């Protein structure tokens, strides 16, 4: 080849290298921008740590044995000191309390047991002064049968409120079966002699379902929502809303439908239209967050509820994870598979809630951890570490920060929850084994999570000076906030540390999640990564020593947090990382 030819080749080669470098640079930049974008799509509700308060059981200020708004106000500094920045308050509206407030008789008033509207105003002011947002329950799949709408509706077939509810005139014969979750007979149609017709109630007889197909009803609900948004609330949690839309022809469901309530009743026709309308009329006009209770029946359903471009809700609240724990235990592989699957389905679009307990569940540590004296604290802290290090908005139920446990009532008369009492009666009626039923309730009953908050070692755990509406767990003498306050290694103080840690590390909110050591049956290991930061989280979900084989470079790794007093100084090596029972560690990787 001539000299000229060789020079030409060298020049071309140089251009080729430059071209490759430029392309690589552009590609890298593109990726970084995409990653960056995720981090800049910031929303307060994504970064929030939500603390759920069950007002009936939190703090009683007037000695009637029932928690109230003034009680919550008196504990605002405690709440603030948890570090959380949003509170979800279970319903506080006027209610005859068939279902502890989930049966609303006046949406614009406060339940007498809980106080007055003036108390509410002080509560929201107190929260806002402390930088805490308030998310309220919106219970509009159904109302109370004592709501004025229902009183009018049942009074005559020609009442203007008749179509606020679902009625089936008895001369048409019996309506096609519908399942009620709370009814003694599980029959969702209740005959009402006043107008010789049946009304629909998916929950108790005192919770008739509202008719969302009626535009008048929808208008009323949006006005109620605006009433609260104008008062300054920061969000709505939509109770049972996935069941709100119904096919009013009430077609006959296939046999066995009642065992698949969710499948046949959720995401009915026009549900998305209603949510879009709600968004347009209310959500889009205020800086409020919105969370669905539930997430439909598939990822597609869930995305349709919450993807940003849909203009419906902000985040889903999927039950698959919380439903894993059974009285006979659960498999960690299953647990990891569920949380990893949900995370990957929402990695690019939509947003999830992360939770393992709430007012409808038994206690976190008793279901997912180990509430024996030996492991209660370690496992409660380990579970808190999980909740605070996953992608999504963590919801933490009051009392779990202390490691409160199931009360395990032994007699049906101990229970307060109408749904358990009705189910017990049902079991009796069908001659089932009621002892077995009660045994199972010790593990699953939602009253386990509703016993009074354990403030101190005094009378009734400092919850009330009167007779508590539901018994206090006797372990309050050693599990209570006052004691834990003084112990720097308590569950309470560890929880505070964790909340703080999450708040100062946005990678835990927005960063990529990657499951490691997938087949490990004892250890849940994952990384969270983004914006140049990478964290490794190792959680031993078992009561035995365990080893994690994470296979990531640990050069320059730093142990940031551990739930054991003496954190291990050794880093994961060739032979894996040894974890003590229920140990949780967080490393920063280089």
**Binding positions for ligand NOJ, rule: CB under 6 A:** 99, 102, 139, 203, 239-240, 293, 359-360
Start-to-end C-alpha separation, the chain: 50
Give the span between the Cα atoms of 244 and 222, in whole angstroms. Answer: 15
* 204 or 527: CB nearest ligand NOJ: 204
Element (H, E) at 444: helix 434-444
Catalytic residue (one of 234, 239, 484, 583): 239
Name the catalytic one among 60, 113, 293, 447.
Answer: 293
Of 81, 177, 168, residue with least CA distance to 130: 81
Distance in Å, CB of 271 to ligand NOJ, minimum:
16
Q: Cβ of residue 472: shortest distance to ligand NOJ, in angstroms? A: 21
How is residue 184 annotated by DSSP? Answer: T
Q: Cβ distance 135 to 124 under 8 Å?
A: no
Chain-centroid distance of CA 125 in Å reads: 25
To which residue do tokens 């203009």 refer? 311
Which residue, judged by CB position, is nearest to ligand NOJ in the bound state? 102
Of 426 and 580, nearer to ligand NOJ (C-beta) is 426
Q: How far is the CB of 82 from ligand NOJ (least distance, A)?
A: 22
Of the pair 203, 541, the CB lying nearest ligand NOJ is at 203
Nearer to ligand NOJ, 54 or 526 (CB): 54
> Which single residue is written with the structure tokens 């009018």?
152
CA separation for the pair 498, 295 (Å, rounded)? 27
Look-up of token digits 């049946």: 198
Structure tokens that stand for 224 in this block: 């109620």
C-beta separation of 52 from 395 below 8 A:
yes
SS3 assignment, position 317: strand
Q: Is 121 one of the annotated active-site residues of the chain?
A: no
Q: In angstroms, give the least distance from the CB of 415 to ligand NOJ.
A: 14
Give the DSSP per-residue string, 469-491: SSPPPGGGGTS-HHHHHH-TTSH
Minimum CB separation from ligand NOJ for residue 186, in Å? 15
**Dist. CA 35–CA 58, nearest whole Å:** 41
Nearest approach, Cβ of residue 187 and ligand NOJ (Å): 17
Q: Any alpha helices (H) in 201-331, and if so which ranges?
A: 215-230, 261-265, 271-281, 299-306
Query: Which lies closer to ligand NOJ via its Cβ, residue 99 or residue 343?
Result: 99
Query: Of 301 and 417, which has the nearer Cβ to ligand NOJ?
Result: 417
- Known catalytic residue: 293? yes
Active site amino acids: 239, 293
């Amino acid at each position: 080849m001539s000299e000229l030819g060789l020079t030409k080749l060298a020049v071309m080669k140089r251009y080729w290298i430059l071209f490759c470098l430029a392309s690589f640079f552009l590609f890298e930049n593109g990726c970084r921008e995409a990653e960056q974008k995720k981090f800049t799509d910031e929303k307060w509700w994504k970064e929030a740590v939500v603390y759920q308060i069950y007002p009936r059981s939190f703090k009683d200020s007037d000695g009637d044995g029932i928690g109230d708004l003034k009680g919550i106000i008196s504990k605002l500094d405690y709440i603030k000191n948890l570090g959380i920045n949003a509170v979800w308050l279970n319903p506080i509206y006027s209610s005859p309390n068939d279902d502890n407030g989930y049966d609303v008789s006046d949406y614009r008033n406060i339940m007498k047991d809980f106080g007055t509207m003036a108390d509410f105003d002080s509560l929201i002011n107190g929260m806002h002064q402390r930088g805490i947002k308030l998310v309220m329950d919106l219970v509009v799949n159904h109302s109370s049968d004592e709501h004025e709408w229902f009183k009018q509706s049942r009074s005559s077939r020609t009442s203007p409120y008749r179509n606020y509810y679902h009625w089936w005139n008895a001369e048409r014969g019996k309506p096609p079966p519908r399942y009620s979750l709370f009814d003694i007979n599980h029959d969702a149609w209740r005959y009402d002699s006043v107008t010789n017709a049946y009304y629909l109630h998916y929950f108790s007889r005192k919770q008739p379902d509202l008719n969302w197909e009626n535009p008048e009803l929808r208008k009323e609900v949006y006005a109620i929502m605006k009433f609260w948004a104008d008062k300054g609330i920061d969000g709505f949690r939509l109770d049972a809303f996935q069941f709100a839309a119904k096919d009013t022809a009430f077609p006959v469901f296939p046999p066995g439908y009642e065992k698949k309530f969710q499948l046949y009743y959720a995401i009915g026709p026009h549900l998305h239209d209603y949510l879009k309308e709600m968004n347009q009329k209310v959500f889009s006009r205020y800086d409020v967050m919105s969370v669905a209770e539930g997430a439909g029946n598939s990822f597609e359903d869930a995305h349709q509820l919450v993807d940003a471009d849909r203009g419906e809700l902000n985040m889903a609240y999927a039950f698959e994870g919380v439903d894993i724990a059974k009285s006979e235990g659960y498999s960690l592989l299953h647990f990891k598979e569920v949380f990893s699957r949900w995370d990957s389905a929402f990695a690019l679009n939509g947003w999830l809630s992360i939770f393992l307990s709430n007012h409808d569940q038994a206690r976190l540590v008793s279901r997912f951890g180990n509430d024996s004296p030996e492991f209660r604290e370690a496992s409660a802290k380990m579970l808190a570490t999980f909740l605070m290090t996953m992608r999504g908005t963590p919801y933490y139920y009051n009392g779990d920060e202390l490691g409160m446990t199931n009360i395990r009532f032994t007699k049906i008369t101990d229970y307060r929850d109408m749904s358990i009492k009705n189910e017990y009666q049902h079991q009796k009626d069908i001659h089932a084994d009621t002892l077995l039923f009660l045994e199972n309730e010790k593990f699953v009953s939602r009253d386990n999570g509703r016993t009074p908050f354990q403030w101190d070692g005094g009378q009734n755990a400092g919850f009330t000076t009167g007779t508590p509406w539901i018994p206090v767990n006797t372990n309050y003498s050693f599990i209570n906030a006052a004691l834990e306050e003084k112990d720097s290694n308590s569950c309470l103080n560890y929880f505070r540390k964790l909340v703080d840690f999450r708040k100062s590390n946005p990678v835990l909110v927005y960063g990529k999640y990657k499951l490691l050591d997938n087949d490990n049956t004892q250890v849940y290991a994952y990384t969270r990564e983004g914006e140049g930061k990478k964290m490794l989280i190792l959680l031993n979900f078992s009561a035995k020593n365990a080893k994690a084989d994470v296979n990531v470079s640990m050069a320059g790794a730093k142990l940031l947090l551990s739930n054991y007093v003496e954190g291990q100084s050794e880093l994961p090596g060739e032979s894996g990382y040894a974890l003590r029972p229920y140990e949780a560690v967080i490393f920063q990787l280089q």
